[in-house]
Amino acid sequence: MIEERVLVQKFLNRKGRERLKKPDWLKIKLGDPRNQNQVMELIDGLNLHTVCQEAKCPNIFECWTDKTATFMLGGDTCTRHCGFCAVNKGKPMNLDPMEPTHVAEAVKHLDLKHAVITSVNRDDLPDGGSMHWAETIRKVREMNPDCKIEVLIPDFNGKEESLNNVLNARPEVLNHNTETIARLYRRVRPDAKYDQTLELLERAAHYRDTHFPQMLTKSGIMAGLGEGFEEVVDLMRDLRSVSCDIMTIGQYLQPYEKRLPVERYVTPEEFAEWKKIGEAMGFKHVESSPLTRSSYHARQQTENGENAVR
């Protein structure tokens, strides 16, 4: 009887409804385990974390086969309580002062031409960890002068000085995800504010226009959390209103039972339509598909953005 209840629970979300069955278009291709193991050994050896593992990304096999990983700064424990995220919640450990060097060494070892770096939220730190971010960018550039650096940053609680710490280190791409539409923020991102996210992106765009025109700004969302098609279009307009260059749209996948359930699986045709609409709005690149994630095909996204006429 107990085993039967466990099996039933595996197919129910936390509202007691039957979980939606994944459609065929979300099937993934497994990569070469030898390359994946090489990336795993390197990360473990340098005491690093990747968002690929912590966020249970569905593209990990493809990306790690290509020796591509998204490094995650600040440990593996986040101070926020987002309803979609698989990363541990709680009190984080102290920052590792060697982490910036270790990330730079990993980028060099993997011979990356485009490195993606993100972090957990560190609301326990006065600057949100922004100086740690800046040091990491500088170390990566010092050891890998030909590698472009993309950062996916937290909101730093809206502190402009913290954002400037990162911007002054001159990453080629400044990404901050919107994650979902404004109506769903309280449920999906209870510790964040939609307007604050737009303000961060607007400040980054102003920095780009006045100090570093080579930089691209970027944001992304997950679909399938209860938003409507036109609500996503409205969000795209909001991002263009703050001069966002690149947008990513992908399918939300529930990482485990206690996270928010998938409300629906968006069809590939809808993702394609969002891409078409976004490009017509003036985004330099829109990556929109069921398996899209912020760092999925990140190098190609940036190259397309750079080739577009500003």
Measured from the Cβ of residue 132, the count of other Cβ atoms closer than 10 Å reads 21
Confidence of residue 134 (pLDDT cuts 50, 70, 90): very high
Question: How far is 163 from 17, CA to CA, in rounded Å?
Answer: 41
Tell me how far CA of residue 145 lies from CA of 108, 139, 141, in angstroms: 10, 10, 5
Q: What average pLDDT score do residues 293-299 get?
A: 67
Express each pLDDT in 233-284 by its tens digit.
Answer: 999 999 999 999 999 999 998 876 777 899 999 999 999 999 999 999 999 9
Strand pairing class (246-251; 216-223): parallel
The answer, yes or no, to whether residue 15 has pLDDT greater than 70, is no
The band of 294, judged by pLDDT with boundaries at 50, 70 and 90, is confident
For residue 192, the one-letter residue type is: A
Listed as own residue / partner, the contacts of 181-186 with beta carbons closer than 8 Å and 24 or more positions apart are 181/221, 181/227, 181/231, 181/232, 181/234, 181/235, 182/235, 182/238, 183/227, 183/231, 184/225, 184/226, 184/227
pLDDT at 64: 43
For 87-97, write each residue's pLDDT tens digit: 677 888 899 99
| Between 215 and 11, residue with greater pLDDT | 215
Q: What is the pLDDT of residue 129?
A: 96
Identify the pLDDT of residue 53.
Answer: 46
Domains of the chain and any CATH numbers:
25-307 (3.20.20.70)
Instruction: Please check the confidence at residue 231 and state whether its pLDDT lies above 80.
Output: yes
Residue 8 binned pLDDT confidence (cut-offs 50, 70, 90): very low
Return the percentage of the chain with pLDDT > 90, whole number: 54
pLDDT of 45 higher than 80 = no
Indicate if the pLDDT at residue 206 is higher than 90: yes
Q: How far apart are CA 260 and CA 83, in angstroms?
A: 5
Exposure string for 66-95, b = 16+ CB within 10 A, e = fewer:
eebbbbbbbbebbbbebbbbbbeeeebeeb
Task: State the Cα–Cα distance between residues 121 and 77, nearest whole angstrom.
Answer: 8
